[in-house]
Amino acid sequence: MSKLVSSIQEAIEKSGLKSGMCISFHHHLRGGDYVLNMVMQAIADMGIRDLTVNASSLFDCHMPLMDHIRNGVVTGLETDYVSGGIGRELSAGILPKPVVFRTHGLRPSDIATGKSHIDVAFLAAPTSDEMGNCTGKCGPSACGSLGYAMADAMYADKTVIITDNLVPYPLEKQSITEDYVDYVVKVDSIGDPKGIVSGTTRMPKDPVALRIAAYAAKAIEASGLLKDGFSFQTGAGGASLAAASYLKDIMLKKGIKGSFALGGITGYLVEMMESGCFEYLQDVQCFDLKAVDSINRDPRHIEISALHYAGPTAKSTAAQALDVVVLGATQMDVNFNVNVHTNSSGYIMGGSGGHTDVAACAKMTMIVAPLSRARMSLVVDRVNCISTPGSSVDVLVTQYGVTVNPARTDLLERFKEWKLPVYDIHELKEIADGLNGMPDPNPNRGDRVVAEVLDRDGSILDRIYQVL
């Protein structure tokens, strides 16, 4: 008995996929992923139509999916994040139904509870045996953690593993186990390693980003949370990475031994663990080659599922153990609501990912962003899209200093004690308006809803409208 089938087409046939069903993909191969396009082309060639695609994220390498939408092969889209090229098409309204945006935590919760039913999951696996025990930790297309693929594997009616590195049974590192896998397909290549390992982890030289990072690190120090046992998450954006770098200096200087760093893991966080800043990394997704190498060899670098990371239906999550998270924003409004779904022109160019989840969970949620970008103000009266509610956001750090959610008087006092420059959110908005002029909110907004953004409880948090 083997689950090996000779082609993606054969796997599709055997899976029983029919028009009208829902299929899923994960995004661990990021901008280098070949699998989604290969599977969708085979499906289109077979004449299957009217599918819903549930992909944990979509990148511009997935632009061929837009043609499948135009041709009616795909009529529903559910995702947690899309990159700019895809977003522009979705904002133009190519899909008849609204896109459903979830968070990285809500997605596995909805899959596990059956609210989001997946008929067939097509899961890229950098290494697999012929029974479907598989991992992302090694292989020519290694991507590290498979955290976002685990719920799909466990709860889809049929699970197809697609690999370019078939190894003898049993695979030693079993991130997904055979008891959940129906078919295994060997292909020449599941992805382009250069695209899998994105270049997002370069440290910035931009003086504005460095200034923001310095304020952010000082604010973390001032918060009282930076002590032995400290836990931390940050993104791979420039200011976030630079903030981690300043934080590292403080931790090493003061001899602070943190507990863990969480999330999408970068090589920089690996360095912090290796230099003693953290005991462990809890990794739902690897952002770069150094992270991939680390999770493959260092048992302190722990692979976790998306449910374990931040699922709202989980009994508890790693996110709930977070002290501080540093996140980005495209817009923020005077009520501290954050937009990471659309740009200031209203075009979709992102998504929550884990933003909303960890913001809701961490003891201190800090947004780092320059006050304006390309003459567009960060701070507005009302964000074009609420991605993360203001009630989850504690601090905004810009190049001017810190701005504190009025609900966090405790932090305000600490920051003043530490002589950090403190600005009221309205003051900050005035400064930004003075620099950029009053922005026209949603300049080309149409009337049709092109996307619904779900909050962590599954309710609709906001709607995104067509851009005309």
Which of 170, 224, 406, 421 is the binder for a second copy (CB under 8 A)? Answer: 170
Output the CA torsion sign for 325, 326, 331, 332: positive
The upper half-sphere exposure of residue 456, i.e. CA atoms within 13 Å in the direction of its Cβ, equals 20
Three-state SS letters, 345-410: CCCECCCCCCHHHHHHHCCEEEEECCCEECCEECEECCCCCCCECHHHCCEEEECCEEEECCCCHH
Contact string (CB under 8 A) for a second copy, positions 106-135, x = contact: -------------------------xx---
One-letter amino acid at 363 equals: K
Residue pair 281/269 in contact by the 8 Å Cβ criterion:
yes
Q: Does 168 bind a second copy (CB under 8 A)?
A: yes
When asked if residue 258 is in the footprint of a second copy (CB under 8 A), the reply is no
At residue 266, φ and ψ (nearest 5 deg) are: -105, 165
Q: Does 182 bind a second copy (CB under 8 A)?
A: yes
Q: Give me the least distance between CB of 355 and a second copy, in Å please.
A: 20
Q: Is 179 in the site for a second copy (CB under 8 A)?
A: yes
CB distance 140 to 164 below 8 Å: yes
Contact flag: residue 381 with a second copy (CB under 8 A): no
For 408-441, give one letter per residue: b (16+ CB within 10 A) or e: beebbebbeeeebebbebeebbebbbeebeebee
Please, what is the minimum distance in Å from the beta carbon of residue 257 to a second copy? 11
Q: Out of 172, 206, 249, 427, which residue is the one contacting a second copy (CB under 8 A)? A: 172
Q: Which stretch binds a second copy (CB under 8 A): 96-104, 114-122, 295-303, 330-338?
A: 295-303
Using CB under 8 A as the binding rule, whether residue 28 contacts a second copy is answered as no
- Which of 6, 47, 207, 315 is close enough to bind a second copy by CB under 8 A? 315
Pick from 40, 307, 385, 453 the residue near a second copy by CB under 8 A.
307
47 binds a second copy (CB under 8 A): no
Structural contact between residues 87 and 466, judged by C-beta atoms closer than 8 angstroms: no
The answer to whether residue 376 forms part of the interface with a second copy (CB under 8 A) is no
Considering beta carbons, is residue 316 or 409 the nearer one to a second copy?
Answer: 316
CA-nearest of 331, 351, 321, 328 to 242 is 328
- Compare residues 126 and 132 and give the one whose CB is closer to a second copy: 132
Q: Which stretch, 55-63, 238-246, 318-326, 430-438, contacts a second copy (CB under 8 A)?
A: 318-326
Strand pairing report for 99-101 and 74-79: parallel
Binds a second copy (CB under 8 A): choice among 92, 321, 376, 431: 321
Q: Is 257 in the site for a second copy (CB under 8 A)?
A: no
Give the nearest distance from C-beta 146 to a second copy in angstroms.
Answer: 15
Binder among 9, 37, 41, 177 for a second copy (CB under 8 A): 177
Name residue 451's beta-bridge partners: 99, 464
Please pick, from the candidates 107, 308, 408, 456, the single residue that binds a second copy as defined by CB under 8 A. 308
Q: CA 45 from chain center: how many Å? A: 31
- Residue 161 near residue 176 (C-beta atoms within 8 A): yes
In terms of CB distance, is 363 or 416 closer to a second copy? 363
Find where tokens 């420059």 sit. 421
Nearest distance, CB of residue 214 and a second copy, angstroms: 30
Helices (H) and strands (E) in the chain, counts: 15, 25
Which residues ranging from 191 to 250 are in contact with a second copy (CB under 8 A)? 229
**Stretch of 165-173, 237-245, 375-383, 457-465 lying at the interface with a second copy (CB under 8 A):** 165-173
Nearer to a second copy, 56 or 339 (CB): 56
Write down the residue that tokens 């529903």 correspond to: 76
Please tell me the distance from the alpha carbon of residue 141 to that of residue 32, in angstroms, as a whole number. 9
Residue 16 found at the interface with a second copy (CB under 8 A) = no
Q: How far is CA 418 from the centre of its chain?
A: 33
Residue among 34, 122, 232, 280 that touches a second copy (CB under 8 A) = 280
Q: How far apart are CA 31 and CA 12, in angstroms?
A: 24
Residue located via tokens 């770069």: 288
Among 107, 106, 125, CA closest to 196? 125
For residue 4, state whether it binds a second copy (rule: CB under 8 A): no
Contacts with 435 (C-beta within 8 Å, 6 or more apart), sequence order: 371, 372, 375, 377
Task: Select 132 or 401, whichever has its Cβ closest to a second copy.
Answer: 132
CB of 450 to a second copy, least distance (A): 33
Closest separation in Å from C-beta 180 to a second copy: 6
How far apart CA 453 and CA 458 sit, in angstroms, is: 9
Of 45, 115, 169, 444, the residue at the interface with a second copy (CB under 8 A) is: 169
The binder of a second copy chosen from 103, 282, 344, 405 (CB under 8 A)? 282
Residues forming contacts to a second copy in the complex (CB under 8 A) are 1, 3, 131-132, 159, 168-170, 172-174, 177-182, 229, 259-260, 279-280, 282, 299-300, 302, 304-305, 307-308, 311, 314-318, 320-321
